[in-house]
Chains A and B, each alone.
Chain A
Amino acid sequence: MTSIYNRSLHRRSGDVSLSLFALLFAETVAYSQKHVKGVNELEERLNSLGYSVGYRMSELVMLREGKNGVRSIEILELMRDVHQNLWKALYGRSAHSLEKSRSEEDEYMIIDNNPIELTFISVPKDISQLSCAAFTAGIVEAALDGAQFPARVTAHSSGTDQFPQRTIYLVKFEPQVVEREASK
């Protein structure tokens, strides 16, 4: 019997139905919400769910999109990989912009104007600081950890009139990463 495991890892599988993904993700959030106290814990939980996806995903993306086994060893290079290749593998397009924080040496921002996982989600007013994109933040965190660039990634919604679901993924690298970069 041939199953998904018999297929070549290099072959890209087809797209997943958006409705199916949205329903599954909605149920994931609703289920997680029943088992936590408060917004921070919920984001934490979504982050850790994303982390286990990202850990597997980053390896696969590396294999498929990788430059003949050459790793990215600079922060900016790695962030570009995440912003383009990882995003493309997950959501079929790259994120909208990648910025470096002006005030903090160790902070980078990936900005998505309409994150696909939030397409159908409206957060109630009483927990408006919640961003369900914490899931994607977890994926990014795992990808960076896996590349030996440990970081903390959080998602913050910053909706505009034109893009109400606009989200900023804030990446804060551990001090040793910045130190290593400076000593190169």
Chain B
Amino acid sequence: MAILSLYILNKSGGLVYQRDFTEKLNKLSANDYLVLAGTFHGIHVIASKISPVSHSSGIKSIDSSTFSLHCLQTPTGIKFLLVTDPGQSNAHLLLSKIYQLYADYVMKNPFHQLEMPIRSDQFNRQLTIYASST
């Protein structure tokens, strides 16, 4: 099992979706997840600002001995954060597939409000199917 959890941040750094794909992760309080998302959004902006070369994409991945965190920022400023087992080399492929599911099952749902938390049964279902196939 490669995928540990998924976070989706809106363009202002608010957490709109969070989901763990395994039981072994420590659960945080709802507020802590929001803080975590906001903090990452902040350091992502700082990282792209302190880059010596302009137009930096910001943080793409963070590696540690126990996990890797991969970030995909879309042209509209939405960030997908994927926490995986360390050294996952195909994370970019996983992220773009998740982006595709988001584009289909969230953006084409008439009941979704932009920038608001994602409540979509179909998106959940498709993610479950995809996560279990990797």
Tell me if B121 counts as interface (CB < 8 A to partner A): yes
Chain B nearest Cβ from A142, distance in angstroms: 22
Taking CB atoms, residues of chain A closer than 8 Å to B108 are: 19, 22-23, 26, 119-121
Chain A window 15-35, contacts with chain B (Cβ cutoff 8 Å), 1 for yes, 0 for no: 000010011011111100100
Taking CB atoms, residues of chain A closer than 8 Å to B12 are: none
Tell me if B119 counts as interface (CB < 8 A to partner A): yes
**A29 and B121 contacting across the interface, CB-CB below 8 Å:** no
A24-60 with Cβ < 8 A to chain B = 25-30, 33
Identify which of A119, A132, A164 contacts B110 (C-beta below 8 A). Answer: A132
Tell me if B125 counts as interface (CB < 8 A to partner A): yes
**B122 and A120 contacting across the interface, CB-CB below 8 Å:** yes
Identify which of A23, A121, A132 contacts B122 (C-beta below 8 A). Answer: A121
**B110 and A27 contacting across the interface, CB-CB below 8 Å:** yes
With most chain A CB atoms within 10 A of its CB, the pick from B105, B111, B120 is B111
Among residues of B, the one whose C-beta sits closest to the C-beta of A28 is B110
A131-182 with Cβ < 8 A to chain B = 132, 164
Identify which of B104, B105, B110, B123 contacts A29 (C-beta below 8 A). Answer: B110
Identify which of A19, A33, A121 contacts B109 (C-beta below 8 A). Answer: A121
Among residues of A, the one whose C-beta sits closest to the C-beta of B121 is A122
Tell me if A9 counts as interface (CB < 8 A to partner B): no
B36-63 with Cβ < 8 A to chain A = none
Q: Which residues of B contact A (CB under 8 A)?
A: 104-105, 107-111, 119-123, 125
Given A120-B122, A121-B109, A122-B111, 15 more pairs with CB closer than 8 A: A22-B104, A22-B108, A25-B110, A26-B108, A26-B109, A26-B110, A27-B110, A30-B111, A120-B105, A120-B108, A121-B122, A122-B105, A122-B123, A124-B119, A164-B122
30 examples of A-B residue contacts, CB within 8 angstroms: A19-B104, A22-B104, A26-B108, A26-B109, A27-B110, A28-B110, A29-B110, A30-B110, A30-B111, A33-B110, A119-B108, A120-B104, A120-B108, A120-B122, A121-B109, A121-B110, A121-B122, A122-B105, A122-B109, A122-B111, A122-B119, A122-B120, A122-B121, A122-B123, A123-B111, A124-B111, A124-B119, A132-B110, A164-B122, A164-B125
